[in-house]
């Protein structure tokens, strides 16, 4: 293959790499992903291609430099020679590539804004965002409250059960985290580096109990839990992708708060599929365990109707902070994950994504720096 052909091929690949790196950069920014594997590899590829491009275009670059050096002497060019004949091929190529990039960027911007507008219902376009529309639409009214109070009550069960699933009891928890609360709050960070060190079963039990467990059975028909819940309906279900926990085989489990036990819902280690489902964020495969919080919408929807979705997400947020603080107090790393492919995560934990859907993930495990 000639140098010119190689150069063209490298230019095409460069454009592809720029597009992928740009798009994945946008995705990373939009979803708050701090370590996005595809973006990183696209950027490395981009750098390598840029270096190859420079090497291949070196003669053209030199010609350009020579051309600039000759600009001062241009007046001595014999009359009648067309101006383009004085511009070396390398410079024309560089100019063409720059214009191509500019045109591509303009077209992508226009396409992006058109695509955002097309197919959006009028009310959403007016509100500017589906979330804003939902927020407005789910405002309570007295009349709505009255209608709802006459609606038949079909309250779904408080707990999910897996009669056929293998059950694994967890050690009693609650005493291990001794760090004062004010210290845990001050030290809390999103920590994304994990070591090979496995978590102990006690550590996992502590994380689960102190983040989502039933903490008090004495005073009510419904036990109190580690987080508040609108109407004490507790729509949040907890799944645990176990990668490296001593005494517990890698698999996906469902946490049963009523017995402080895990039930296996999918056998076998799922670190790679879970990582892929979380947009290739490497920490998902490296952590000792991945917590998936799912909202069982019916459990809160029968009562709160349009507002139920708000309450479900708020509840998950409470649990997220519990996870962070408990991990901090136990000397573990924790990072929230909102960037994931919903359908893939739902499929992995075995839920339908409609009546029950994953809303929040978090990773926990031993820190790389403390290893």
Ligand X SMILES: Cc1cc2nc3c(=O)[nH]c(=O)nc-3n(C[C@H](O)[C@H](O)[C@H](O)COP(=O)(O)O)c2cc1C
Q: Does 369 bind ligand X (CB under 6 A)?
A: no
The residue number with the shortest CB distance to ligand X is 338
Q: Does 364 bind ligand X (CB under 6 A)?
A: no
> Which residues lie below 8 Å from residue 89, measured CB to CB, with a gap of 6+?
60, 63
Build a one-symbol-per-residue string for 266-285: x at contacts with ligand X by CB under 6 A, - elsewhere. ---------------x----
Q: Where are the beta strands (DSSP E) in the chain?
A: 167-169, 214-216, 224-225, 236-242, 251-256, 261-267, 289-296, 333-337, 356-365
Taking CB under 6 A as the criterion, the residue among 120, 133, 336, 357 binding ligand X is: 336
Taking CB under 6 A as the criterion, the residue among 3, 5, 29, 32 binding ligand X is: 32
User: DSSP character for 194?
Assistant: B
Rounded distance between C-alpha atoms, residue 238 and residue 225, angstroms: 13
Q: Does 49 bind ligand X (CB under 6 A)?
A: no
Q: Does 367 bind ligand X (CB under 6 A)?
A: no
Got the DSSP string for 208-259?
HHHHH-EEE-SSSSS-EESS--GGG---EEEEEEESSBTTB-SEEEEEETTT
Rounded distance between C-alpha atoms, residue 104 and residue 62, angstroms: 27
User: DSSP character for 176?
Assistant: S
Q: Does 187 bind ligand X (CB under 6 A)?
A: no
Q: Does 240 bind ligand X (CB under 6 A)?
A: no
Q: Does 189 bind ligand X (CB under 6 A)?
A: yes
**Pick 202 or 236: Cβ nearer ligand X:** 236
In whole angstroms, what separates CA 10 from the centre of its chain?
Answer: 32
Q: How far is the CB of 307 from ligand X (least distance, A)?
A: 20
In whole angstroms, what separates CA 242 from the centre of its chain?
Answer: 19
Q: Does 70 bind ligand X (CB under 6 A)?
A: no
**Pick 281 or 295: Cβ nearer ligand X:** 281
Taking CB under 6 A as the criterion, the residue among 337, 349, 359, 363 binding ligand X is: 337
Residue numbers at the binding site for ligand X (CB under 6 A) = 31-35, 189-190, 192, 281, 335-339
């Amino acid at each position: 293959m000639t140098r010119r052909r190689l150069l063209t091929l490298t230019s095409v690949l460069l454009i592809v790499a720029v597009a992928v790196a740009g798009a994945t950069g946008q995705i990373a920014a939009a979803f708050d992903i701090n370590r996005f594997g595809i973006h990183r590899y696209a950027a490395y590829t981009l750098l390598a291609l840029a270096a190859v491009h420079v090497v291949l275009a070196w003669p053209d670059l030199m010609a350009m430099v020579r051309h600039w050096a000759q600009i001062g002497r241009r007046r001595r060019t014999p009359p009648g020679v067309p101006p383009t004949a004085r511009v070396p091929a390398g410079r024309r190529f560089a100019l063409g590539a720059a214009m191509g990039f500019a045109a591509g960027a303009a077209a992508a911007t226009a396409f992006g804004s058109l695509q955002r507008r097309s197919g959006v219902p009028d009310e959403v376009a007016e509100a500017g965002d589906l979330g804003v529309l939902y927020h407005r639409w789910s405002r309570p009214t007295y009349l709505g409250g009255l209608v709802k109070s006459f609606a038949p009550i079909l309250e779904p069960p408080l707990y999910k059960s897996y009669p056929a699933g293998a059950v694994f009891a967890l050690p009693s928890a609650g005493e291990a985290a001794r760090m004062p609360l004010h210290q845990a709050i001050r030290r809390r960070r999103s920590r994304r580096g994990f070591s090979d060190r496995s978590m102990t079963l006690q550590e996992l039990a502590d994380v689960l109990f102190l983040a989502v467990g039933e903490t008090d059975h004495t005073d009510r028909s419904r036990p109190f839990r580690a987080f508040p819940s609108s109407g004490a309906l507790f729509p949040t279900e907890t799944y645990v992708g176990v990668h490296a926990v001593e005494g517990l085989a890698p698999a996906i489990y469902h946490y049963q708060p009523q017995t402080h036990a895990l039930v296996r819902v999918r056998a076998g280690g799922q670190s790679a599929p879970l990582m892929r489902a979380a947009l290739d964020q490497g920490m998902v495969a490296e952590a000792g365990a991945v917590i998936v919080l799912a909202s069982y919408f019916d459990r809160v929807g029968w009562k709160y109707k349009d507002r139920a979705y708000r309450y479900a997400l708020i509840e998950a947020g409470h649990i997220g902070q519990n996870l962070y603080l408990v991990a901090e107090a136990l000397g573990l790393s924790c990072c929230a994950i909102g960037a994931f492919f919903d359908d893939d995560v739902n499929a992995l934990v075995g839920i339908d994504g409609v009546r029950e859907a994953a809303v929040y993930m978090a990773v926990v495990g031993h820190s790389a720096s403390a290893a």
